[in-house]
Amino acid sequence: MSLPKKIIISESGMRDGLQNEKTILSAEEKISLINELADAGLTDIEGGSFVRADRVPAMANSAEVFRGLDYDRGVKYYALIPNRKGLERAIEAGARLVGVGVSASAAHNLANYNRTPEESLAAYQGIIETAREHGLEIRSSIQMAFGSPWERVIPVDHLKRLVEKYKDQGVNTIIVADTAGVATPDQVYETMSGLSREFPGTQWLLHLHNTRGVAMCNLLAGMEAGVTMFAASVAGLGGCPFVPNAAGNLATEDVVHLMDEMKIETGINLDRLLETARRVERLVGHEGHSYILRAGKSCDLLSAVKRQGS
């Protein structure tokens, strides 16, 4: 197994995670959680999205959140923006890293954004230029990269055309997302190897959903293909937009635990992260999809037996 020595985890619980929750957290709660996550060592955190409040009520206070963040601690706070209006609100709130997204599934893009992927990409040109003029960093995403409920198979060549457009727009960090939770490890390996060969020097960020229980396998397959940046969600918050009650993102603590066990550096203190994960579960009022929160760390198993004296 050819694995990297170090990976970066991009924490997506405060955006992708919370937007699937019935309980809406206040801006103060979100800011406090984001600060705790940064204290635990996370350096890349999704702060929220500037979408329509009537469509995603959990994100209505994103401007307040971004205004309250500490930009002096070397953490990148990501804001998802769907359009120019969102960019303007993000700039006003002080965001420094914004992302636009297109779906690899044309039908999904039409259903979600009411425009074709090509129209989305054309519209982003001007938005990205404006963001740059304001000194913002850009990170673009491709949703449904591994299959969608509309088009089951997404050809890698189709992904390459979308990446090419983003690269033409000067974007170098690209989120490749398994929005529908249908990716398999062999597919992730082939896809990410193919994209990396075609676009060397690109920073890929794999955003995996654990809908069908194989997201951790997909993460490892991504690592074997050379990817070093992965989204995960504290306490395993999140869901699948097409399957009610399905598991969502990988729990950040589960990823950190496995990396710790495999001696792959994340820079994250697992014990502090687990404290935050427990607080997140208290705030949303239910258990997330986290294994380590339930089972504890492998190393604690040893001391538990020792304490019992058995």
Residues 107-166 that bind its own copies (CB under 8 A): 111, 147, 149-150, 152
Q: CB under 8 A: which stretch of 79-87, 96-104, 165-173, 289-297 binds its own copies?
A: 289-297
Q: How many residues lie near its own copies (CB under 8 A)?
A: 49
Binding to its own copies by residue 309, rule CB under 8 A? no
Do residues 288 and 277 lie in contact, with contact meaning Cβ atoms separated by under 8 Å? yes
Q: CB under 8 A: which stretch of 22-30, 72-80, 90-98, 175-183 binds its own copies?
A: 175-183
Q: Is 299 a catalytic residue?
A: no
Do residues 214 and 183 lie in contact, with contact meaning Cβ atoms separated by under 8 Å? yes
Binding to its own copies by residue 53, rule CB under 8 A? no
Q: How far is residue 33's CA from residue 25's CA, in Å, rounded to a whole number?
A: 10
φ, ψ dihedrals at 145, nearest 5°: -65, -20
| Catalytic-role residue among 25, 159, 215, 240 | 240
The single residue among 127, 175, 214, 273 that binds its own copies, judged by CB under 8 A, is 214
Task: Return the number of the residue (184 or 269) whose C-beta is nearest its own copies.
Answer: 184
Q: CB under 8 A: which stretch of 37-45, 94-102, 226-234, 236-244 binds its own copies?
A: 236-244
Q: How far is residue 120's CA from residue 145's CA, in Å, rounded to a whole number?
A: 16
Closest CA to 28 of 61, 70, 58, 4: 61
Binding to its own copies by residue 8, rule CB under 8 A? no
Strands 97-103 and 8-11 turn out to be: unpaired
Binding site for its own copies (CB under 8 A): 1, 3, 111, 147, 149-150, 152, 180-182, 184-186, 189, 210-214, 216-217, 220-221, 224, 240, 242-243, 245-247, 250-251, 254, 257-258, 261-262, 291-292, 294-296, 298-299, 301-302, 304-305, 310
